[in-house]
Amino acid sequence: MARKVTTKRRITVTVIAWIIALLIFFPILWTFLTSFKTEGEAVATPPHFFFFHWTLENYLEVSERSDYVLYFFNSVVISVGSTIIGLIIAIPAAWAMAFVPGKRTKDVLMWMLSTKMLPPVGVLIPIYLIFKNTGLMDTRTGLVIVMTLINLPIIVWMLYTYFKEIPGEILEACRMDGATLKEEVLYILTPMAVPGIASTLLLNVILAWNEAFWTLNLTAANAAPLTAFIASYSSPEGLFYAKLSAASMMAIAPILILGWFSQKQLVRGLTFGAVK
């Protein structure tokens, strides 16, 4: 039985919720608005909220002047590349642990998780030196490797929790009906596993896109993704708010959109299945 809520109470709660939500969202909204202003208007006092001369100038300038395309390309290669390689390594592992669990499966899972707890500074120097001596420094390949490894535990865990939910009885029923292994994998397991794999992919692309320890420390001009590109605005000259805003919007927009699709998976992925 649903509990009755008076209309008056509902209105009050709605108003409060909207005010708080807009306050939390405001920095993003403000960045969005500023990105369409001229530099002069961006620092005007009192600030101009909606009634200003809207211009696309900043977006044009940022994309022309600062190799934005290269940074964007690097972000895509690093986040998507590391996710796909991670999935290729993790899918068989998670599969085996979910469907053929052994005595040590739980230990292996917990151990994988523990590697995620290792603070990056604990291995910063060796990775830095290895990268320097092997020519991996400032290369997309190097970053894809690091990003694959740091996110591999999360990928395995997420997939494991999804695969775990596929009922084993279905497989037995298929086998009884005489399905071959190939048919079993192709027609039964794959369709059931695709949603889980897709959400894992989505969440991992987001995490890799926003990662800002290794990307800042292991890249310079060639392989720097958007995180490092934005960091270059930390020591600016002259008026730059509008351009900073435009660059920021271009860096976060793809992930904001992807992120909104993956809200539900976020909880499962980031709590390693502890909260669903």
Partner 1 sequence: MATQHSRAAARLMISPAVILLLLWMIVPLAMTVYFSFLNYNLLMPGAHNFIGFENYKYFVTNPAFITALINTLVLVGGVLLITTVGGTLLALLLDQPVWGQGIVRILVIAPFFVMPTVSALVWKNMFMNPVNGLFGWIATSFGFAPFDFLSQAPLFSIILIVSWQWLPFATLILLTALQSLDSEQVEAAEMDGAGPFARFFHITVPHLSRAATVVILIQTIFLLSVFAEILVTTNGGPGNASTNLTYLVYAQSLLQFDVGGGSAGGIIAVILANIVAIFLMRMIGKNLDA
Interaction with partner 1 in 171-200: which residues (CB under 8 A)?
none
CA distance 208 to 216: 13
Nearer to partner 1, 112 or 140 (CB): 112
Contacting residue, 70, 174, 188, 212, with partner 1 by CB under 8 A? 212
- 3 touches partner 1 (CB under 8 A): yes
The secondary structure of 41-107, three-state, reads: HHCCCCCCCCCCCCCCHHHHHHHHHCCHHHHHHHHHHHHHHHHHHHHHHHHHHHHHHHHCCCCCHHH
User: Closest approach of Cβ 109 to partner 1, in Å?
Assistant: 7
End-to-end CA distance of the chain: 23
Contacting residue, 58, 209, 219, 224, with partner 1 by CB under 8 A? 209
Q: How far is CA 121 from CA 160, 214, 237, 259, in A?
A: 28, 10, 31, 28
Binding mask 46-65 for partner 1 (x = CB under 8 A): xx------------------
- 24 touches partner 1 (CB under 8 A): yes
CA angle 189, 191, 193 (to 5 degrees): 65
CA distance 235 to 12: 45
- 220 touches partner 1 (CB under 8 A): no
Interaction with partner 1 in 253-272: which residues (CB under 8 A)?
255-256, 258-260, 263, 266-267, 270-272
User: Closest approach of Cβ 191 to partner 1, in Å?
Assistant: 20
Contacting residue, 81, 142, 153, 196, with partner 1 by CB under 8 A? 153
- 246 touches partner 1 (CB under 8 A): no
Interaction with partner 1 in 77-136: which residues (CB under 8 A)?
89-90, 92-93, 95-97, 99-100, 102, 106, 108-110, 112-130
User: Closest approach of Cβ 53 to partner 1, in Å?
Assistant: 19
DSSP 4: P
Closest CA to 75 of 262, 225, 261: 225
